[in-house]
Structure 1
Amino acid sequence: MQFHDAHCHLPINYFYKDIDNFMKQWLDLGLEYVVGVSMKYTEIEKAIELQKKYKQIIPGFGIHPWEVKRNMPEEQINKISYHVATVSPLVFGEIGLDHHFIKKEQYYPLQEEVFRFFLNLSEQYSIPINIHSKGAEERVYELLDSFSIPPSNILIHWYSGPKKILYKFRDKGVFFSINPSILGGSTHRFVLEKVELEQLLTESDGNVKYWIKGERIIGSPAIIPQIMEKIAEVKNLSMDEVSEVLSRNFKEFANIS
């Protein structure tokens, strides 16, 4: 059975320094693709290196809203724009807005500026986007609505916002990722319950740590099969059915034919 991880922080040292051992383990388990998202520019360069080594790694170009404290340097803008034309497949992530963990409102306009930069490139080059929206779900929805980006190229990562905004995103037709928190009885479960399988993807958000049944688990693609089992249980489907639909969803999202 093959599986996909739509959001894993592969460029961080935890994974990056031991990527060969990790990839051997994940490929043996059935990993087909993993999106290695970035939080800052130096990680973008590492994500590109990882793709050169493993075709199963899709680089994620992103500046996380937690990292936005000033305008993007012109050199970074130019390099990212250059790489967009030379790297394929490619996802923009982790990008978006955060008004929950980032309390200083003076950073919000800067977050939007960086987010708009990636949204413009996504619209121009048809690049899928992997979005962080914590505490800013409605504003993220408004911004997305102002761009002509196909809903099938939009992934809302680890949604935990208001249900009314969830329904707006769902009705727009975007994808939502289900992560290991679902295994520990998280409120994230309502996403799984309210969104059809045809709009779901799986993610580990590695190396985030989760408490699952009293045990501390480090997120990685290795946990994706367990997430798929939970999806099958909640949706009352077989693992084969879940695997087939999730595979089709991922390839549609990532523009993989």
Structure 2
Amino acid sequence: MKFIETHAHLCDKAFDNDREEIIGKSFSLGIEKIIEISCSAKDWQSALDLHDKYENKIFPVFGIYPGYIDELNTENLARLQDNLKKDFCAGIGEIGLDYYWDNSKKKEQFKILDSMIDLSNELKKICVFHARNGKDEKNDSAYADLAFKLKNDWSFDNKKRSRGILHCFSGNWEDAKAGLNLGLLIGINGTFTYTKNHELRDVVKKAGLENIVLETDCPYLAPQSIRGKRNDPSQVPLIARVMSEYLNFKIEYIAEITSENANELFTNI
């Protein structure tokens, strides 16, 4: 039984003391491949180095996170384009809109997003999207704004069923439907296991397993059983087990279908 971890931040300083041990543990527990998300210019080289060490196992995705406004400059865009052109680069990300911590800089976030969408259209790269609503979700919806933007400006077409991921999904069913209509898979992580997260579990059931990929977003968002502690890719099977119990599927089926979804999207891993 093999899994694909579609969203990890293994270059985070949280893993500086035991990175190799954690990676080895994850592989031994059934993680076949890992998508390393490198969304800050200061981490791009570390992600390249990680791929060099685990070239058939760990594949980088490069981008500029919506909150990293100061990183959008000519030099970084040139570096980013060079990284995205590498054969082993799995996509662009994580990119998008985040209104939760600071909704006063939407214009700057859209400027980053514009640049990332332009790169996707030009270089024919799939995207890993981040969306988080503001504290007033009805009037400050990052999901709605992102969907509108992609519908109008994202012309990339890989001739496949899906062309990106709406990672760490935290929206409602309408947000999920908008993403699915745009050709996005839904990224599900440890938040699925949280006791009160009934809405997310309902979204997964409605979306269908054919539209789901598994992730951890480590070192963040550990599953309920270790909530508050450091997360890592070895927790993917636990997330799958909770999902299998909720959907009444065998865990082997969860592993098979979510891995098929990831492999179809990330064609070069």
Asked whether the two chains share a fold, i.e. TM above 0.5, the reply is: yes
1:141 counterpart residue number: 147
Q: Return the offset for 1:179.
A: 0.5
Aligned to 1:79: 79
Residue from 176, 186, 189 that aligns with 1:179: 189
CA contact (8 A) 2:63 2:80 kept: no
Structure 1 residues 47 and 173: CA distance shift in structure 2, 3 A = same
Hey, what's the Cα distance between the residues in 1 that align with 2:39 and 2:165?
16
Q: CA deviation at 1:210?
A: 3.7
1:131 equivalent among 108, 129, 132: 129
Paired residue secondary structure (1:97): strand
One-letter amino acid of the structure 1 residue matched with residue 143 of structure 2: E
Question: How much has 1:221 moved relative to structure 2?
Answer: 0.8
1:117 matched residue in structure 2: 115
Q: 1:221 aligns with which of 227, 233, 248?
A: 233
In 1, Cα distance between the equivalents of 2:83 and 2:17? Answer: 23
Is 2:61 aligned against 1:95?
Answer: no
Q: Deviations over 1:185-222 (max 9, x none)?
A: 22432321221111100011101144625854422111
- CA drift of 1:178 comes to 0.9
1:61-89 CA-to-partner distances (Å, cap 9, x unmatched) read: 12111222x46121111111112222413
Amino acid in the other structure paired with 1:137: Y
Is the CA contact 1:159–1:191 (under 8 Å) kept in the aligned structure 2? no
> Residue 112 of structure 1: CA displacement?
1.2
Q: 2 CA distance for matches of 1:37 and 1:78?
A: 19
Q: Describe the shift of the 1:116–1:162 C-alpha distance in structure 2 as closer, same or farther (beyond 3 A).
A: same
Q: Point out where structure 2 has 5 or more consecutive residues left out of the alignment.
A: 134-141
Q: Could you list the per-position Cα deviations for residues 131-188 of structure 1 after superposition, in whole angstroms to 9, with x for gaps in the alignment? A: 1111110111111112123461210011222432222222333100110111122243
Aligned residues between the structures: 254
Q: Secondary structure at the match of 1:133?
A: strand
Q: Return closer, same or farther for 1:193/1:206 CA change in 2, 3 Å cut-off.
A: same
Structure 1 ranges of 4+ moved more than 6 A: none
1:9–1:205: 8 Å Cα contact kept in structure 2? yes
Task: Tell me, in whole angstroms, the C-alpha distance in 1 between the residues paired with 2:214 and 2:253.
Answer: 15
Aligned letter for 1:59?
Answer: P
Q: Is 1:242 matched with 2:254? A: yes
Question: Which residue identity lines up with residue 114 of structure 1 in the other structure?
Answer: I
Match of 1:204 in 2: 216
Match of 2:180 in 1: 170
**In 1, distance between residues paired with 2:185 and 2:223?**
25
**Contact persistence 1:38–1:44 (CA under 8 A):** yes
Q: Distance in 1 between matches of 2:250 and 2:187?
A: 19
In structure 2, the CA distance between the partners of 1:119 and 1:239, relative to structure 1 (3 Å rule), is same
Change in 2 beyond 3 A, CA 1:212/1:50: same
| RMSD, matched Cα | 2.0
Q: Distance in 2 between matches of 1:250 and 1:91?
A: 12
Secondary structure, counterpart of 1:218 in structure 2: coil
Evaluate the alpha carbon distance shift between residue 123 and residue 207 of structure 1 in structure 2; reply closer, same or farther with a 3 A threshold: same
Change (3 A) 1:6 1:16: farther
How far residue 126 of structure 1 moved from its aligned partner, in angstroms, is 2.2
Kept after mapping to 1: 8 A contact 2:83/2:89: no
Q: TM-score, normalised by structure 1?
A: 0.91
Instruction: After TM superposition, give the deviation of residue 17 of structure 1 in Å.
Output: 4.8
Structure 1 unmatched ranges of 5 or more: none
Alpha-carbon distance in 1 for matches of 2:244, 2:63:
31
CA contact (8 A) 1:211 1:217 kept: no
> 2:136 matched to which residue of 1?
none
